[in-house]
A and B are shown apart, each in its own frame.
Chain A
């Protein structure tokens, strides 16, 4: 009813190429922002922040990052966990070496460091393709985790090799450490998500994004029409790793506060983020958010439903969780193979034409 172009006139090119060309969509977007910024920070509790919102926001960043590489540029990567670890350890070294550095700089520098490492491990992508590349990025995953585990310099020679984030302030409020309040951590992550998603949105529809997509669709054809595969692929690796590095740094500094590399950034993390973008939808920003929400929320929701509400035995409930998550993934695929994002856009398409479907 409200969701249609009719009567929504565009009078300039800028209007025409805006992110949300449909007025209703735009207002919905503002409404989401308003809730995220204006309401949630005032009502957020520790539980909601630590169990749901902060992991959701952080994984959304990681998913956007991986989606840039995999969804937009077509390079499947299973090194996400390792790259997140680079972000985390860079931020740890920065925080302990320069106690005065503010957290925004720390996080951005961690992203930059990860981008460099990402480019290095992206080099083989010029030769190796498809699943072979996916498995090749696993080399990065395992090597990086091993490295952070083995070289004591990375964890400041502590006896056990765990790293703990010290308390750092931003505008007088603790962002990291145990005394950071839920709303501060939430807003800090939200700011990163907002800016990074905005940048990603504009990167992917600009010249760079189009080059990535050309490479994804057919790299040889792209090369013939003048896309430099070296630059396109490596820039995708760099940008993607930057995002993933930021997510890894936030996961350590803001969310967990203390990590052990093998456990927090192991191979499961790489798979988790990959699952997010596949379930959400490859090559879609909305899909990154939807996938992150699906993978973060579903287990918690199922746990609340089965254990807290219905009083099931925790072991049984966890087993059922696996069955339900697996079943849902297969069900979604059979109904709509292109992920939640496609379901969403189909729904929008239907709404646009409603009530006249043809």
Chain B
């Protein structure tokens, strides 16, 4: 087999796994948009906040330490204990649920029935707010996130492909883990939506607020539920991305990687987010591999958007988006 083809296969595989990482972020957007029509700009910051909180809890940092020290002249930074990874993840999930309750109670409950653009803007405010709170709570230094996920080249894939093609493929263990986690997460979400009472309420609300309300579903409750789920998805995304790069401000920018995925997959479809993610991941990796060197590289940022744009011209509602029916 020619070298270029083997390389292309490796690039494609890596692209697929990158796509899973994008899909993880996109998933949080879809959940909230589907249930409440809110385009949640704060999703990226939520991932940052969740990851920061996780690290903070794990290392036993004192929340708002800097602020407390500044006001009271104390010098406290740590509680002096360390929380095991799993317990810290559960605690962080609780924090994200608390955040969902607060956001719903103090912001979104007051904005029921507003136009999408206004809800979008409220999430912008929320993003600013949460970013400030996150910095105040845990500081803006970089933090190492380590929950024991494997990282580095997967040797068995390397060996198998080397025997097959004479060139060992590079697949990151972390990406494989992310793919498994994402699969479990999506399966869980779908099962939750299909087979539980709460899940069915969620779907009912997504279909029609008024009708759901009229059969006795508490909208508030469902929205808190959805925001909590989005918070937990943000936590998972934060862990996956943060394990590679450490947790710091740039983590909040991963939301930008999710937008083309959303366009492609449709804002309202969970499978769409996954498939959109995979297409974007493979597309941009192959483009950078094949065309990138000719035009100077670093094309990932824009190619995803152009791909989605071209795609949308032919299918304006995305792959799995609801068909746009226009009436006058």
Interface residues of A (CB under 8 A from B): 76, 124, 127-132, 135-136, 138-139, 141-143, 145-146, 149-150, 218, 220-221, 224, 267, 271, 275, 278-279, 282, 312-313, 315-316, 318-330, 333-334, 337-338
Contacts and interface: CB of A to CB of B under 8 A. Distances in A.
B164 interface: no
19 contacts: A127-B313, A132-B312, A132-B318, A139-B309, A220-B328, A224-B328, A271-B124, A275-B124, A278-B117, A278-B124, A279-B121, A315-B66, A315-B140, A318-B135, A325-B125, A329-B122, A330-B122, A337-B111, A337-B114
A326 B126 contact: yes
A330 B129 contact: yes
B306 A333 contact: no
Interface in B65-105: 66-67, 70
Interface string B52-76: 0000000000000011001000000
A327 B125 contact: yes
B263 A135 contact: yes
A319 B263 CA distance: 32
A313 B70 contact: yes
Interface stretch (B169-177, B198-206, B254-262): B254-262
Contacts of B260: 135, 138
B50 interface: no
Contacts of A127: 312-313, 316
B122 A132 contact: no
Q: Chain B's interface: helix, strand, loop or mixed, by majority? A: helix
A131 B66 CA distance: 39
B128 interface: yes
A316 B65 CA distance: 11
B135 A136 contact: no
Interface string B102-126: 0000110011001111101110111
B295 interface: yes
A244 to B, nearest CB: 19
A334 B259 CA distance: 27
Contacts of B131: 322, 326
A143 B129 contact: no
Chain A CB within 10 Å — which of B70, B127, B129 has the most?
Answer: B129
Interface residues of B, number: 53
A334 B133 CA distance: 20
A264 B87 CA distance: 43
B144 interface: no
A334 B39 CA distance: 17
A319 B302 contact: no
Given A127-B313, A150-B296, A333-B111, A132 B263 contact: yes
Contacts of B70: 312-313, 316
Contacts of B313: 124, 127-128
Contacts of B248: none
A140 to B, nearest CB: 8
Chain B CB within 10 Å — which of A275, A312, A313, A334 has the most?
Answer: A334
B317 interface: yes
A303 to B, nearest CB: 14
Contacts of B67: 316
B130 interface: yes
A271 B38 CA distance: 17
Contacts of A143: 302, 305-306
Given A322-B129, A323-B132, A326-B127, A142 B302 contact: yes
Contacts of A130: 116
B163 interface: no
A136 B302 contact: no
Chain B CB within 10 Å — which of A129, A142, A316 has the most?
Answer: A142
Chain A CB within 10 Å — which of B111, B262, B316 has the most?
Answer: B316
A318 B140 CA distance: 11
